[in-house]
Structure 1
Amino acid sequence: MPGGGTARREVVEHLGAVAVVALDDDGRVTLIHQYRHPLGRRLWELPAGLLDAAGESPLEAARRELAEEVGLAANSWVTLVDVAVSPGFTDEVVRVFLARGLSAVDRDEQGEEEADLEARTFPLDEAVAMALAGDVVNGPAVSGLLAAQAVVAGRAEGRPADAPFRDRPTRFARRSEG
């Protein structure tokens, strides 16, 4: 602990993840609606997924997840935010990207969760209003939507798509490899 003391902690180690604010030329963002067992209901979220492929960069993972979950590709990528989901008990950090210049690609469903999700587009301002009203509660989605609104409005700038990912979790992946 800071100051030299010690404390016992239980920590859930995670692979890390990526999420994508996919913004079309009309200012609409794609959200997915899928069941989340811990909350016992379907949630509106951003297309997202784990950093679980060996050697895959966060940007490559984001490109893969965007195609798998909603059948989109993008030609412009910016890092919006890195979200430490609940740093009191897990090292999970999600990198959220802003993707623009969208085009349709074949959707490559990878499992039951992706087969069950519903994708829908919303004007960015409406999606932000949904977050502020409590209709979007997923942390990376709320953070990503608010950050995207700030970037689109010119009040903030994103970082390069390959910006350093200082807090990317690594312990679980290292142990799993070995």
Structure 2
Amino acid sequence: MTAAKPIQHRESKFHNLLQQQIRNEFTAAQQYIAVAVWFDNNDLPRLAALFYRQAVEERNHGMMIVGYLMDNDVKPHIPGIDQVRNDFGETRELVALALEQEREVTREIETLARTAREEGDYLGEQFMQWFLKEQVEEVSQMSTLLNVVDRAKGNLFHVEDHLARESVGDHDTDATAPRVAGGHL
């Protein structure tokens, strides 16, 4: 009887981009914490809660990538993060930053999916499908929030009411989501 050999995965461009994406996701999490703290410090509890949840979600995305790499015998590297912005003037500025951050992450995820396909990494391509779907939701959510902020014309109680009424960001764990190394927070 022959012992089963583990699948040998070569380190690829896709895997290298995944390693970079861990940093991007953790940086996004920290940026959302900075945004949440600004809202919290300005007595806007619904906006603060939304961005605290977003921070945890981004952290979980990074840990999904860590889990995927470990599951595929690729050693993950846990990076430091890039500098985050902490000084803001007004609410629109924060939400516009969040929207641009989600658009940038979408471009990064598209690059990952394209690279996996180009390299014939069918497992990697399948892994990225959930993230593509997630980014459509994230960009849509931040676009809507920016529209609500603009329509509120400076009355942030209208934005807070919208968040309370619409339960923005309050969704259950997606059963189709990739495994989060260490578990969801």
Q: Give the helix-richer structure, 1 or 2.
A: 2
**TM-score normalised to structure 1 length:** 0.29
The structure number with the bigger radius of gyration is: 2
TM-score by length of 2: 0.28
